[in-house]
């Protein structure tokens, strides 16, 4: 549990379409407490829906977004550490999110993964060499970050990745 930092400008652009965009525009045009709350709820709903599209069960979780601090708070319980870490990554790897407040409990605790923020020039082989001493272990990192990663070559600067122990 704790606060994880992310690069606000990097990630999935969920807030620039649909209900989240409309709520943001309404809050910007008339910054009333009601419009601000609606914008924050629309953003939280967009993040929750995004997690669902990754095939990760969000039942039992509560997500909240605070537009003033660009922070997501995730609360609830999940079955295992890998699911928890994937949820945190989904929340943080969204453009417009700067921090994720982790309040998730795990039913079956396990060792936590390390985290790596992708920089320009990185690829999974280079990251595997740095963490495991073997560039050929890149599939471990790829599998640990599925389904958020659809291909080993599709990573971008600012993205945070799970680096599981092997």
What number is the average pLDDT over the span 90-95? 90
Q: Where in the chain do CATH 3.10.350.10 domains reside? A: 114-163
Task: Quick: pLDDT tens for 70-85.
Answer: 999 999 999 999 999 9
pLDDT at 16: 66
Higher pLDDT, 10 or 109: 109
Rounded Cα distance between 106 and 114, Å, is 17
pLDDT for 34? 85
> Under CATH, what is the fold of the domain 114-163?
Membrane-bound Lytic Murein Transglycosylase D; Chain A (3.10.350)
Average pLDDT, the chain: 87
- What confidence score (pLDDT) does residue 38 get? 87
Q: Are 87 and 51 in contact (CB under 8 A)?
A: yes
Residues 6+ apart with CB under 8 A from 15: 21, 24, 43, 46, 94, 95, 96
**pLDDT (tens digit, 9 = 90+) per residue, 24-76?**
666 566 677 888 888 899 899 999 999 998 899 888 899 999 998 999 999 99
């Amino acid at each position: 549990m704790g606060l994880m930092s992310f690069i606000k400008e990097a990630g999935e652009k969920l807030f620039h379409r649909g209900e989240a965009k409309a709520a943001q525009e309404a809050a910007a045009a008339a910054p009333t407490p009601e419009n601000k709350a609606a914008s924050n709820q629309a953003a939280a709903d967009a993040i929750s829906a995004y997690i669902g599209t990754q095939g990760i069960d969000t039942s039992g979780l509560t997500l909240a977004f605070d537009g003033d601090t660009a922070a997501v708070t995730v609360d609830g319980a999940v079955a295992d550490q890998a699911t928890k870490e994937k949820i945190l990554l989904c929340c943080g790897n969204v453009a417009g999110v700067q921090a994720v407040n982790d309040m998730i409990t795990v039913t079956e605790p396990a060792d936590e993964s390390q985290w790596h923020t992708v920089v320009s020039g990185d690829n999974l082989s280079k990251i595997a060499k740095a963490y495991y001493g073997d560039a050929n272990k890149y599939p471990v990192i790829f599998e640990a970050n599925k389904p958020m990663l659809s291909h080993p070559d599709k990573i971008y600067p600012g993205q945070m990745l799970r680096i599981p122990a092997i």
